Amino acid sequence: MSRAATRGRLAPPVASPPALPSAETVAGLYDRSLDVLAALRRRGQMEVENYPTRRYSITRAAAMVGRTPTAIREAEKDGRLAGVERMVNGRRVGYTLHEVNAMRDVFSTRPWREPGDPPAVIAVQNFKGGVGKSTVSVHLAQYLAGRGYRVCLIDCDSQGSSTSMFGVIPDLDVQEDETLYPFIRNAEMSSLAYAVKPTQWDGLYLVPANLRLYSAEYELAARVARSEPTLLNRIAEGIASIVDHFDVIILDPPPALGTISLSVMRAANALLVPIPPTIVDFTSTTSFFAMLHETMGVLAERGYPVDLRWIRMLITRADEGKSIQREITGLMRTVFGDTMLRTVLKDSAEIDNASARMMTVYDLDGPVTSRETYNRCLTQLNGVNGEVETLIRLTWPSQAARLRAEGVL
Ligand SMILES: Nc1ncnc2c1ncn2[C@@H]1O[C@H](COP(=O)(O)OP(=O)(O)OP(=O)(O)O)[C@@H](O)[C@H]1O
Ligand SMILES: [Mg+2]
């Protein structure tokens, strides 16, 4: 359609245009949005203090620990393990992850890295928005914690999506001085420990984010450009200050190539790239790889080489009903081969429903939709996370022999 024709369809000018929203109106909208979020969380009974604690049956706990239910019962009887709470009918109420981890300690089945093994610092990164970075980050962090690893998830995005999946409302429950922000801007701070908070998952810690982290983006850009390129190393330094306590650090960056994303790249030693199998997302991801290459060069020039032990692409949000998506997935497999994870994370109502409750699929004990949908989603999540777990263990010399024994190598 020509411009003239388009113009011809416009309505005639009105006598007085509607009043523009004032700054106060916008501030009011922000305050009311926080009220809505708080009400939604109450509705889902997700107040942080009464967040549901998952419990595992003795059979499940035994599988998690790597021993038999009989071995657990015997250890409880002879006092090596504290007896578990029982219901009126005498049945065990189920074990919390904290209790499962206590069993792992007693049976020496913790999967922790040895001091000589490098900690895994995984960035779940793609500059494209909405591809599932935060969803993948939190489910991976909880899966690994469930397996008994010591995990820290660092929310590097001022949107605080990962933070909110722990039932925490970033702009209501988190203070600026509890985030990465003070550490990033104050070069004299030596430890990030102040921001590391325990979560409902035993062994999983969170560095939360809120909107103030956005200021770091501007401040950092100006200072790095002016005279302080060393600030690009701040996230790496923050991680170095806490990493002795962890096996795995997971970084959830914002969807943009800003200074925080650069700092995340610099800090990471592994990269997981979620990509929905659509033309638009794939096109952006192609640009992401081009920028990644360029950025790695720039960082290296500044004395901050990026040292990645592995890169994997992960198909997310796939809709198997769409033939074009199946085609793109197939094509990517042919072209990228082993650089892609085998498991595909499909679009699932279970993930949608869990995130609407400010939770994850792993937090929920059972299905929100149907048993079939839930099981399918769980199988995919466990498949993806299990593949990442193997990649992590492959980088640990102490585990190589065990992996060989398991037939992985
Ligand atoms: N496999 C999935 N099935 C259903 N919904 C999903 C899935 N993955 C992500 N989502 C939903 O898509 C939305 C965006 O996901 P998410 O926040 O994880 O993406 P992101 O890449 O972190 O976004 P941003 O770029 O804004 O940080 C969320 O509402 C999330 O619940
Ligand atoms: Mg996100």
| Atom 31, ligand 1: residue with shortest CA distance | 352
Establish if 288 belongs to a structural domain: yes
Question: What's the pLDDT band for 376 if we cut at 50, 70, 90?
Answer: very high
The total number of residues shown for the chain amounts to: 409
| Probe target for ligand 1 pocket from 137, 161, 250, 278, with the most ligand atoms within 8 Å of CB | 161
308 has pLDDT over 50: yes
4 has pLDDT over 70: no
What's the confidence (pLDDT) of residue 111? 94
Same domain membership, residue 186 and residue 261: yes
CA–centroid distance, 43 to ligand 1, in Å, is 22
Question: CATH number, domain at 380?
Answer: 3.40.50.300
The sign of the dihedral angle between the CA atoms of 124, 112, 147, 96 is negative
Same domain membership, residue 201 and residue 69: no
Nearest ligand 1 atom to the CA of 377 is: 1
Same domain membership, residue 126 and residue 100: no
What's the confidence (pLDDT) of residue 409? 61
Tokens of 177: 């001085």
Establish if 100 belongs to a structural domain: yes
- CA neighbor of 157 nearest in space, from 234, 221, 238, 214: 214
Same domain membership, residue 176 and residue 80: no
**pLDDT mean over 151-159:** 97
Same domain membership, residue 152 and residue 129: yes
State the helix-helix crossing angle for 133-146 and 371-394, rounded to 10 degrees. Answer: 80
Same domain membership, residue 85 and residue 184: no
Establish if 37 belongs to a structural domain: no
| Probe target for ligand 1 pocket from 154, 250, 261, 355, with the most ligand atoms within 8 Å of CB | 355
Residue range of the domain that includes 89: 58-107
User: Closest ligand to 272 CA?
Assistant: 1
Nearest ligand 1 atom to the CA of 135 is: 18
Of 73, 107, 141, the one marking the end of a domain is 107
Same domain membership, residue 238 and residue 200: yes
User: Closest ligand to 133 CA?
Assistant: 1
Same domain membership, residue 131 and residue 97: no
Same domain membership, residue 214 and residue 84: no
| Atom 25, ligand 1: residue with shortest CA distance | 129
Q: Are 52 and 363 in contact (CB under 8 A)?
A: yes
Determine whether the shortest distance from the Cβ of 130 to ligand 1 is under 6 A: yes
Q: What is the pLDDT of residues 79-117, one digit of tens each?
A: 998 877 776 666 777 899 999 999 999 999 999 999 999
- Which residue bears the tokens 């650089």? 339
Establish if 304 belongs to a structural domain: yes
Same domain membership, residue 236 and residue 191: yes
Establish if 405 belongs to a structural domain: no
Tokens of 219: 């401040």
Establish if 267 belongs to a structural domain: yes
The domain total for the chain is 2
Percent of the chain with pLDDT over 90: 61
Same domain membership, residue 155 and residue 99: no
Establish if 113 belongs to a structural domain: no
More confident residue, 218 or 62: 62
- CA neighbor of 132 nearest in space, from 359, 349, 335, 318: 318
Q: Give the span between the Cα atoms of 203 and 155, in whole angstroms.
A: 17
Q: Which residues contact 89 (CB under 8 A, 6 or more apart)?
A: none
- Ion ligand 2: residues, CB < 5 A: 133-134, 161
Same domain membership, residue 271 and residue 248: yes
